[in-house]
A and B are shown apart, each in its own frame.
Chain A
Amino acid sequence: MGEGPSQASELGRFAEPAMLVLVSLSDGPKHGYAIMTDVEAFGGASLGPGTLYAVLARLEAGGLIEPLESDERRRPYRLTAAGAAALAGQLAEMGRFLRIGRMRLRGATEGPDR
């Protein structure tokens, strides 16, 4: 396969849910339901089941995650090395964004009096 999206920018409207899924899988393999509850717990956002599996399919096609042996009927997914690297890159990018945003905001609030 490997022809799928490997960059968040190629995921379109699924970029944000994809980040949530990658972060959720970064502390160990999880199956669909566990990802949903985990994302709700740390992300404060709810992923619909359709969106979740659209993201899983894309991430799997992009080689960022891989399926494991099915446990009864539920199948866990695991972050691949490529996935971990992509997530790290994304987080670094977001960190830069955060830093610049905070800096500019400070400049705006502590600016000269008017």
Chain B
Amino acid sequence: MKAPRLHRFLVGWYPAPWRERYGTEFLALLEERPPGLRQALDIVSAALDARIHPQLRPGPLLAASPPVAPEVRLPGVPPRSYGVVPSPSAGAMSRRAFMRRMVGAGAALLSLEFLGGTLAFLWPQFRSGLGAKFRLGRLADIVVQQPSFANGWPFSYTPARAFLVNVPAAKELALGRDASIPDPSADQLLALWRKCPHLGCQVPSLCEELKRFTCRCHGSTYNIIGEKLKEGPAERGMDRFALEIDEDGMVVIDTAVIVAGAPNLGQEYLTFMDPFPYDIKCE
């Protein structure tokens, strides 16, 4: 009867002299008690142990024949049975196959390490800069820091390169009215990216006279909620970051999620129009 493939594979890890001596009874044992994963690992580690302790290999059974000379081979000295290679017994593994297997396992291990290292290196770790989540603070804190935020003046948050806009108050401000809205909901907030969608210059602060944003590079002009007006080459409004108010009441800007600005379709598509002409810009 032929032993199962797995058993022959496991026995194959042992050195040839060990297999000659114990192979048969070991296979019989495995047949009576089929090995699970733990037993298989036990066998492989014991087989490696047998390879590094050759002095523990017993001689042939019923030692009538003299003990086999210890296997000390100088490099370059051919093995005893030079020429005729005995065909390996069932499940046997030649020294060459063993070496090949070990080299293969080593290469696999090495490439796994490389893969792991590469992944760890490339894994995104946004703690700051574009792509990070920024916790700006509670609305009350922002109003304390910049009281005019309640009156519609954008709050500039430099680490995220964003303007936090209190939309209802900002509209009132742009229309020339005076309103105080200190606690807008998350839906009423906008996080405008201070990067001009034209060529990427930083959009300066709101100009006081028109309550508009005008990019210094090429004059692209946006209203107080970032919609593109007539002036300047930009083809859409200012881009926005995703924004939420978390369960602690903190305003959180996620700079990994960017929403493209509104398309530039003309005056009639604006959310609202401030009292100044459509085609003028801040000076």
Q: Which residues of A contact B (CB under 8 A)?
A: 1, 3-4, 31-33, 36, 48-54, 56-58, 60-61, 67, 70, 72-75
Contact = CB atoms under 8 A, between A and B. Distances in A.
Main secondary structure of the interface of B (DSSP, over half): helix
Main secondary structure of the interface of A (DSSP, over half): helix
Given A32-B28, A48-B46, 18 more contacts: A1-B59, A3-B55, A4-B55, A31-B25, A32-B29, A36-B33, A49-B29, A49-B46, A50-B39, A50-B49, A52-B29, A53-B22, A56-B22, A57-B22, A57-B58, A70-B25, A74-B25, A75-B24
Contacts of A53: 22, 26, 46
Interface residues of B, number: 31
29 contacts: A1-B58, A3-B55, A4-B55, A32-B26, A32-B29, A33-B29, A33-B32, A48-B35, A48-B38, A48-B39, A48-B41, A48-B42, A49-B26, A49-B29, A49-B46, A50-B39, A50-B42, A54-B46, A54-B49, A56-B22, A57-B18, A57-B22, A60-B58, A61-B55, A61-B58, A70-B24, A70-B25, A74-B28, A74-B29
Contacts of B41: 48
B56 interface: yes
B252 to A, nearest CB: 54
Contact of B28 (A3, A60, A61, A73): A73
Contacts of B24: 70, 73, 75
A33 B29 CA distance: 6
A27 to B, nearest CB: 20
Nearest to A50: B46
